[in-house]
Amino acid sequence: MDLRRLQNRLQAFADARDWNQFHSPKNLAMALSVEAAELQEIFQWMTEAQSRELSASQRTALADEIADVQIYLARIADMANIDIEAAVEKKLVKNAMKYPVI
Amino acid sequence: MDLRRLQNRLQAFADARDWNQFHSPKNLAMALSVEAAELQEIFQWMTEAQSRELSASQRTALADEIADVQIYLARIADMANIDIEAAVEKKLVKNAMKYPVI
Amino acid sequence: MDLRRLQNRLQAFADARDWNQFHSPKNLAMALSVEAAELQEIFQWMTEAQSRELSASQRTALADEIADVQIYLARIADMANIDIEAAVEKKLVKNAMKYPVI
Amino acid sequence: MDLRRLQNRLQAFADARDWNQFHSPKNLAMALSVEAAELQEIFQWMTEAQSRELSASQRTALADEIADVQIYLARIADMANIDIEAAVEKKLVKNAMKYPVI
């Protein structure tokens, strides 16, 4: 995925609608959290086993929410000038140290 | 960002720690939502203006949480066999129709 | 508010619908979190000042979400055998020590 | 639980610390959502069965988070001038119609 290109498209989308005034990192963090909750809502009354065997319509709903989370994540990173890929690399190193293979 | 490669690394990480048993989409959705809340927590007592002017340490904390959200998002998409990039493309088209430029 | 009575009514409501199978504390915690996100969604694009001056319809929407959060909170406490009032008392003492008046 | 008394104590607590400036409904909604996520975090890697059989220390942790959610819920309702008990009553009627016993 070309994150830089996605971020540029989201910026153009916001510019065209005069939305930058609403896109403070604080508000984007709220929106991200709300989308993560909508994603979670799909699973709230399922068993774990059921969540591993989604129907086609459940997968469509999940894909829709995954997209929303990805879009707001790309957007907040752009507004706060953070490189997602570098942040992920750093975190993978940190996690490898935090959870050593026994 | 090479999402496929990230997903393979996360899979190998989980395999090595015998974590697949915990990584049901239901549990990963919960973890994603918790990480989104931790990201949001950074901003909860800030004004919007302050959130647009983060300090270096605040940006480091934010990058750390952004990484966690990205990692769980890649992981849940992988476990549910969803193509994030295709889902994002579909959503951008949907959003363009939902919010026409006036 | 008579929490014990509310919890008994929620229990009867779940019994009549055979919902106890779904009301594990894990699932109720997910539902609580989703409702808290729906409550938050009301405010996500508002300024703080606007959130202090809600319209009648916004207040109605907020009251609806507050009720959902209160209901799931009462329910999870009941299912986990926790006394909300005692927990709140304990927390108020803890907070008074954590945040002394200067 | 005497919600009015709790709300008066929370108001006095905020007054003494000059916190009213931070306690916009928007910010309180964020804080509520963060606390609901912390509550949920307790359960994220548990099975549903495990969540029905909490240890003493898990119950203590849960009680602590339940208190935080209750406190912010009481506070936001107070700041937005909403009667929680009345809202809950209204919702119980709504739910009874939405989910009839078959």
Closest residue in B to C47 (Cα–Cα): B48
Contacts of B47 in chain C (CB under 8 A): 48
CB contact under 8 A, A27 and C40: no
What is the average pLDDT score of chain C?
A: 97
**CA dihedral in degrees (D23, D25, D29, D34; nearest 10)?**
-10
* Degrees, nearest 5: CA angle C69-C72-C74: 105
Question: What is the share, in percent, of chain D residues with pLDDT greater than 70?
Answer: 100
| Mean pLDDT computed over every residue of chain A | 97
CA dist., res. A78 & res. A6, Å (int): 10
Q: Given this model, what pLDDT does residue B31 score?
A: 98
- DSSP per position, chain D: --HHHHHHHHHHHHHHTT-TTT--HHHHHHHHHHHHHHHHHTTTTS-HHHHTS--HHHHHHHHHHHHHHHHHHHHHHHHTT--HHHHHHHHHHHHHHHS---
User: What is the least distance, in Å, from the CA of A39 to any CA of chain D?
Assistant: 14
Per-residue model confidence as pLDDT tens digits over C31-63: 999 999 999 999 999 999 999 999 999 999 999
Region C10-36: mean pLDDT is 98
Give contacts of D44 with chain B, Cβ < 8 Å. 27, 30-31, 34
Contacts of B33 in chain D (CB under 8 A): 37, 40
Q: Do D33 and B37 touch (CB under 8 A)?
A: yes
How sure is the predictor about D99, in pLDDT bands with cuts at 50, 70 and 90? very high
Residue C28 Cα, gap to closest chain B Cα (Å)? 12
In the B/C pair of chains, how many CB contacts fall below 8 A?
5
Residue C50 has a pLDDT of 98
Q: Would you list which residues of chain C are within 8 Å, Cβ to Cβ, of chain A?
A: 22, 27, 30-31, 33-34, 36-38, 40-41, 43-45
Decide if pLDDT at A61 tops 90.
yes
Q: Which chains touch A (3 or more CB pairs under 8 A)?
A: B, C, D
Question: Across the interface, which of B22, B31, B37 has its CB nearest the CB of D34?
Answer: B37
Instruction: Compute the residue count for chain D.
Output: 102
pLDDT for the residue D53: 98
Query: Are C41 and A34 in contact, with CB atoms under 8 Å apart?
Result: yes
Contact C27 A34 (CB under 8 A): no
pLDDT value at position D102? Answer: 81
B6-58 pLDDT, tens digit per residue, is 999 999 999 999 999 999 999 999 999 999 999 999 999 999 999 999 999 99
pLDDT at C102 over 90: no
- In a mutational test of the B interface, the residue from D18, D20, D26, D33 whose CB has the highest number of chain B CBs within 10 Å is D33
Nearest chain C Cα distance for residue B9, angstroms: 28
Instruction: Chain A: give the shortest CA distance to residue B47, in Å.
Output: 8
- Put simply, the answer to whether A87 touches B64 (Cβ < 8 Å) is yes
- For residue B34, list chain D residues with Cβ-Cβ distance below 8 A: 37-38, 40-41, 44
- Proportion of chain B above pLDDT 70, given as a percent: 100
Predicted model pTM: 0.97
On whether the CB atoms of residues D41 and C14 are closer than 8 A, the answer is no
| Mean pLDDT, rounded, for D80-101 | 97
Rounded Cα distance between B58 and B61, Å, is 5
User: CA B58 → CA A24, B41, B62, B65, distances in Å?
Assistant: 15, 11, 6, 11
3 state SS of B1: coil
Cα torsion for B4, A49, D37, D88, to the nearest 10°? Answer: 140
Nearest to B30 among C30, C47, C48 (CB): C30
Closest approach of B47 to chain C, Cα-based (Å): 8
Chain D environment of A39 (Cβ under 8 Å): none
C81: left (phi over 0), alpha (psi -120 to 50) or beta: left
Which chains are adjacent to chain B, needing at least 3 Cβ pairs under 8 Å?
A, C, D
Q: Hey, what are B102's tokens?
A: 């006036």
pLDDT of C66 strictly over 90: yes
Q: Using CB atoms, which residue from D40, D64, D71 is nearest to C30?
A: D40
Chain C: nearest CA to B14, how far in angstroms? 22
